Structure 1
Amino acid sequence: MAKKWITNLLLAALIVCFFWGCVEKNKPFPVQQNLVQTKVEHASGFTIQQNDLYTVIEVTSAWPGSETAFTYALIPREKLASITLPKDAYDAIVATPVKAMVVTSTTHIPSLEALGVLDALVGFPSTDLVSSAEARKRINSGLIKELGTNENINTEIALELNPEVVIGFGINNTNKAYETLKKSNIPIVYNGDWTEQTPLGKAEWIKFFAPFFQKEKEADHIFEEIEASYNQTKLLAQQAAEKPTVLTGGLYKDVWYVAGGKSWMAQFLRDANSDYIWSNTKDQGSIGLSLEAVLEKGQKADFWFNPSLHSSYEELEAANAHYEEFDAFSNKKVYSNAVKKGQTGGLLFYELAPQRPDLVLKDLIAILHPELLPNHNLTFYLPLP
């Protein structure tokens, strides 16, 4: 009887130890004190929080309609040995400052260049799309390797480069190349700068890149200057005596796509003190219309911006004879962001404009209200030749 009692007692002790061990094993990592939230005012797709030991970035808008938030822990190299985080607590853990990085969108490159860390970029998909003169030098010298396309990254080359992190760009979470790299212990971190709908919202994503290089103060300073420049330029536009009407877009096959009233482009035109014809619509992206519908509303528009990718009046006329019916065509008031290209054909606007919205706004004001910025040299928007 005593033996049975002792056996039951030992069994009970084992059960208690087992469950206690499980509780201890799954005990959450203690929240550190002195939490500091990075100031992010205009961007809505990410947050940054620092504690005593490391930085946490949460990306809530990796792509339009994303219902998944991604959380990343950035740990200083000197603290790596002393910090152990639960593997399932974060989508990626990255040591900082990063020494070798792959980015996947041209919009990422200006942030690296502005922060002075372009030398950390070791690979990029579709390098011909890159316009930055400094980045092109590094591409031409073999310091930035060609990785194919974002949808089909050459994982063999990427693995040879052994980047410490890949900054991903995606329209969903089904990139097979990313999964292959993750299985090889290369962290994938999503960047959703392109989902922002305001000029300053896109520009503020420079703060997303800063913690990877411990450059937070530099990023804050850079953005504050851009923000101040943008707001001053916006105030200047209010001095204009007139409010010219504006048409956007062009035909793709049989559909004319104009910028929606809640889009990035519409915000620029609003801040430039113009009368954008479709400003009252609620679309955040583009709106598909028939040629007849656009003619009805936009034939008399004073200015026409972004006529698809056409870069001359001859191209416009050859594409569709009806383009000649617009007053902006007849009066040579058509301006394009597709004229200025990099050395290998990449469009400067789609690379640099998201980070420098102040320069975009100055272009628009110099075009729409030339009396306000008579000495401004156009950066992105050029008249069709």
Structure 2
Amino acid sequence: MLQNKTFTSLLFCSILFFISCKKEVKTIPEISKQDVVNTAFKYAEGFTITHNENFKILNIKNPWPKAEKEYKYALVPKNIASKITLNKEEFDGIITIPIEKIVVTSTTHIPALELLNAEETLIGFPGTDYVSSEKTRARIDHQEIRELGKNEGINTEVLLQLQPDVVIGFGIDGNNKTFETIKKSGIPVIYNGDWVEKTPLAKAEWIKFFGVLYNKGKEADAIFNQIEKDYLEAKKIASKVKKQPTVLSGAMHKDVWYLPNGTSPEAQILKDANVNYLWSETSGTGSLALSFEAVFDKAKDADLWLSPSYYNSLNALEKANQHYTKFDAFTNKNIYSFANTTGKTGGVLYYELGTARPDLVLKDVIKICHPKLLQNYTPYFFKALK
């Protein structure tokens, strides 16, 4: 997602497409209640999948915060696409599946493609330097994935040359002129809203969104079930610890200290790791925005400091603000960040893989906060600042 989306991971799109039928046309009968089978999700709330005899319906319910519209897409199997017709007025887009060529716009989308063994279908990406995965980086290096410029200003000329089956986008309000241009050209665009979900496992469950596009629903279910199992097992192990270390997070941006509110997915991971996050009782949407004084008064003696913004060393923190050195966590060198775990071109791996693999993020936090647990585990994203 996205380095183009750092702390918040932003993602979304709407879709338009039609099927040209030159063969005998058979109109799909009206869907009856007996025809419909709804896919039940354990955690994700932002999309639904409905199955009937001839095609599937993908509903995107919440592609960005406070979205006023739901988006409805018909997913028609390629082998019957020429034999049926649908009322285009009923859908925001009609797409043939499985997808063979795709453009995604956030690094957070790439792990799903790789987990589903569909990375070979990726043909374009905006900001390829942000991609960390060795497998996808190799395809970029071999010029199998085209650079599409910046996410907020995709090179539509190159994209139209590529002619992908679909573009997966993200955004904060749905106002994206580039996506509108792409849709008008006949290439469908779907907004992915995983970043709006309220829990880590809900975000991870969006692999099923990609699963339906590739006709790999069973594979997506199996992958998610394993991630969920590993996450819940780690949570259970941490729940037995009696002592909770106190935890501070975030850092200053200009005159404001931003840190996760207590109902955020980030705070949920801290809760599941059985630590005392000092702002766990707060609620709301977005990050907390506090003064330095308010944070210092509450967290001066905190045992640990996690995710201090983009700072990658103790020296960088000190140079940015001398007051950081007054925290016990700084004095004791108990500050941990994912900023130093990068791909060969500098992309931060956490921003790519963290959404898809909350089990690894949780294990990292547990290992850092409860060193005696997970004896054979080495943190995947987080490292101590030096």
Compute the TM-score of the two structures, normalised by the length of structure 1: 0.91
Partner of 1:118: 119
Contact 2:28 2:86 in 1 (8 A): no
Contact 2:78 2:98 in 1 (8 A): yes
Task: Give, in whole Å, the separation in 2 of the partners of 1:197 and 1:343.
Answer: 31
Contact 1:300 1:328 in 2 (8 A): yes
Structure 1 residue 39, shift from structure 2 partner:
2.4
Q: Deviations over 1:300-321 (max 9, x none)?
A: 1100011110000010111100
Q: Secondary structure at the match of 1:128?
A: helix
Structure 1 residue 28, shift from structure 2 partner:
9.8
Structure 1 residue 237, shift from structure 2 partner:
0.4
Q: Deviations over 1:254-299 (max 9, x none)?
A: 1110110111110000000001000000123211111111000010
Partner of 2:65: 64
Task: Give, in whole Å, the separation in 2 of the partners of 1:340 and 1:68.
Answer: 38
Counterpart check, 1:31 vs 2:31: yes
Partner of 1:322: 323
Task: Give, in whole Å, the separation in 1 of the partners of 2:73 and 2:136.
Answer: 27
Q: Secondary structure at the match of 2:90?
A: coil
Say what the alpha-carbon RMSD is for the aligned residues: 1.2
Partner of 1:338: 339
Structure 1 residue 89, shift from structure 2 partner:
1.2
Q: Secondary structure at the match of 1:376?
A: coil
- The number of aligned residues is 359
Compute the TM-score of the two structures, normalised by the length of structure 2: 0.91
* Structure with the larger helix share: 1
Structure 1 residue 34, shift from structure 2 partner:
3.0
Task: Give, in whole Å, the separation in 1 of the partners of 2:115 and 2:68.
Answer: 31
Amino acid at match of 2:335: V
Point out where structure 1 has 5 or more consecutive residues left out of the alignment.
Answer: 1-26
Partner of 1:13: none
Task: Give, in whole Å, the separation in 2 of the partners of 1:119 and 1:166.
Answer: 15
Partner of 1:353: 354
Task: Give, in whole Å, the separation in 2 of the partners of 1:190 and 1:145.
Answer: 21
Q: Secondary structure at the match of 2:117?
A: coil
Identical positions, percent: 50
Counterpart check, 1:53 vs 2:54: yes
Structure 1 residue 174, shift from structure 2 partner:
1.3
Structure 1 residue 29, shift from structure 2 partner:
5.7
Q: Could you list the runs of 4 or more consecutive aligned residues of structure 1 that deviate by over 2 angstroms after TM superposition? A: none
Partner of 2:43: 42
Matches within 5 A, 1:303-322: 303-322=304-323
Task: Give, in whole Å, the separation in 2 of the partners of 1:150 and 1:87.
Answer: 29
Q: Deviations over 1:19-76 (max 9, x none)?
A: xxxxxxxx99611543221221101101111110011110111111111101111110
Matches within 5 A, 1:262-301: 262-301=263-302
- The structure with the largest alpha-carbon Rg is 1
Q: Deviations over 1:137-187 (max 9, x none)?
A: 111111111111121111000000000100111111111111111111101
Point out where structure 2 has 5 or more consecutive residues left out of the alignment.
Answer: 1-26
Partner of 2:240: 239
Identify the structure with bigger relative contact order (alpha carbons < 8 Å, sequence gap 6+).
Answer: 2
Partner of 2:371: 370
Q: Secondary structure at the match of 2:74?
A: strand
